[in-house]
Chains A and B, each alone.
Chain A
Amino acid sequence: MIGTGFIYGVAGLMFAAFAILSATDRTNPKRFGNAAFYAVLAISFLLGGRLGDIGNGVLVLALVAIAGSSAMGRGGRATTTLDERRVEAARLGNRIFLPALIIPAAALGGTVLFRAVPNLVDPKQATLVALTCGVLIALVAMHLWFRPRIATPLAEGVRLMDAIGWAAVLPQMLASLGAVFALAGVGDVVGGLAGHAIPEGSLIGAVLAYTLGMALFTMVMGNAFAAFPVMAAAIGIPLLVRHYGGDPAVVAAIGMLSGFCGTLMTPMAANFNLVPAALLELKDKNAVIRAQIPTALPLLAVNIGLLYWLGFR
């Protein structure tokens, strides 16, 4: 059955190619740092399932050592100039948008198709398998159209990857930190503290502690998924649902969405806030967060009101 093995194989081979291209890029003064970082990622994707837990932990330490010692730079492989791109844009016209649409079209069509034909693709991985197929189809299509050298798409990919750098693995690191927090029982402690902080008999106090707690804990963890089990255990279930008789569906749904307001305001949510700033080559790496705060704060207030009025009818 086609599943994670296929997806991780493609990703692993891509990172292995990134490592080789980085190591041979003499324009990057820190080329071996980049090469080592991508090589470790390639090992993780290709062999992570066979390394054992300690082995994977050592891979993480290697990534941390490379990123923490600022050993990564940016490659300078030649790409096209702005003038060349303008000429291409005029020559190719709107057809240039077609290959970009292959990936979403394949992700959608593949997900539907793989669900209809079971036993071929692991249903849990249908979307990611379809997305991977879309990437491969787009590469083949563009290869027939533009006739680039085999290494060219990879060199262009490493150009973008270098702009993201170590931030690319921060979300995966934070998800793993969440697992350690769960093992250490951080949620129960936070829950106990939050329980003490709420004035007794105050519904609005409990609603505020729950929604603001979701937003704040999400900002620290960078992920509402890590905050939700903690806040549900601390306030959502015992106080809002059991004590005040709130509708559990409303308490859960609006609690999670309050957490999403926190995601908009924190650099820990690297894949949403730091990676776009790096990809767009912004001068201020917090520019995306600054653009989001004026939407996130009023929306958090709306969520507090919605939970208070819809949850306890």
Chain B
Amino acid sequence: MLVLCGIAVIVAGFLLRFNPLLVVAVSALVTGLAAGIAPLAVLAAFGKAFNENRYVTVIYIVLPVIGLLERHGLQERARLAIAKLRGATVGRLLIGYLLFRQLTAALGLTSIAGPAQSVRPLVAPMAEAAAEAQGVAPGGDRIPAMAAATDNIGLFFGEDIFIAIGSILLMKGVLEGYGIVIQPLHLSMWAIPTAIAAFLIHGFRLWLLDRRLARTQ
């Protein structure tokens, strides 16, 4: 029971708005001590895992490319391209992007888009340009936040259809630990109904957004 203190530390730390890195480190220490592990051994376990998980942080190597393109007007070009497109609305644009993100993720192409690679330089400025044409005042959080949300939803509920993605391999490994052997294809197949539901639910919300904007205009 005592080892659950670490979870309480995370929840409390977030509610009290401490720095999350600090909260995670304290949670690890508390959990380790509660389980009777020496502090130095907790530090070593954390350090070992941190070193093994460096690949999680590698994605930021795209930033110099994106930054240089921004310097030469990438976002402004993305806005211009949408402004020229007749009939482009924020809802239609993001529904199209949702479909693109789900389909490419289902093919295993998860790192071709993302907040740094595509949302900041292209999708968010395009969505803002379309929304401005529909009468939204520039500068608010709502439209860019929706662009980022659409990217996440497309990724999460597309990637599990791909047979070689991390989560499928994790599930296969965990089930094998219980003596249940399942082919990755069989697992990925059962991600399809949820993927369709995610497209319908989020697509419906984007369609509603367009309707609401049309009414306020």
Residues of A within 8 A of B (CB): 4, 7-8, 10-11, 14, 41, 44-45, 48-49, 51-61, 63-64, 67-68, 70, 79-80, 82, 84-90, 92-94, 96-97, 99-100, 103-104, 107-108, 127-128, 131-132, 135, 138-139, 142, 146, 148, 152-157, 159-161, 164, 166-181, 183-186, 189-190, 220, 224-225, 228-229, 232, 237, 241, 248-250, 252-254, 256-257, 260, 263-264, 267-268, 270-273, 275-277, 279-280, 282-284, 287-288, 290-292, 294-295, 298-299, 302-303, 306, 310
Residues of B within 8 A of A (CB): 1, 3-4, 6-7, 10-11, 14, 18-22, 24-25, 27-28, 31-32, 34-35, 37, 40, 42-51, 53-77, 80-81, 109, 111-113, 115-117, 119-122, 124, 141-142, 144-149, 151-153, 156-157, 160, 166-167, 170-171, 174-175, 178, 180, 182, 186-191, 193-194, 197-198, 201-202, 205
Apart from A53-B48, A153-B67, A248-B182, 12 more pairs, CB < 8 Å: A7-B58, A80-B72, A94-B81, A160-B120, A186-B31, A228-B167, A228-B171, A249-B186, A268-B20, A276-B152, A282-B144, A284-B141
Residue on B with the closest CB to A102? B65
- Could you tell me the dominant secondary structure of chain B's interface residues? helix
Known contacts A56-B47, A280-B119, A303-B194; A14 and B61 CB within 8 A of each other: yes
19 pairs from A and B in contact (CB 8 Å cutoff): A58-B43, A59-B50, A82-B76, A99-B69, A104-B112, A108-B112, A146-B68, A156-B64, A161-B60, A175-B49, A186-B31, A189-B1, A220-B10, A220-B11, A225-B166, A237-B175, A253-B160, A292-B152, A302-B201
B46–A180 CB distance below 8 A:
yes
A131–B111 CB distance below 8 A:
yes
- Give complex CA distance A176, B48 in Å: 8
Known contacts A8-B54, A152-B68; A185 and B46 CB within 8 A of each other: no
B49–A58 CB distance below 8 A:
no
Known contacts A53-B47, A131-B111; A11 and B122 CB within 8 A of each other: no
Known contacts A94-B77, A104-B112, A249-B186; A54 and B167 CB within 8 A of each other: no
Q: Name A103's contact: one of B35, B65, B76, B188 (CB within 8 Å).
A: B65
Name the distance in Å between A291's Cβ and chain B's nearest Cβ. Answer: 4
Known contacts A295-B201, A295-B205; A80 and B71 CB within 8 A of each other: yes
A86 surroundings in chain B (CB, below 8 A): 73, 76
- Give complex CA distance A79, B24 in Å: 35
A291 surroundings in chain B (CB, below 8 A): 142, 145-146, 148-149
A282 surroundings in chain B (CB, below 8 A): 141, 144-145
B77 surroundings in chain A (CB, below 8 A): 89, 92-94, 96-97
A172–B57 CB distance below 8 A:
yes
Name the distance in Å between B65's Cβ and chain A's nearest Cβ. Answer: 5
A302–B167 CB distance below 8 A:
no
Name the distance in Å between A45's Cβ and chain B's nearest Cβ. Answer: 6
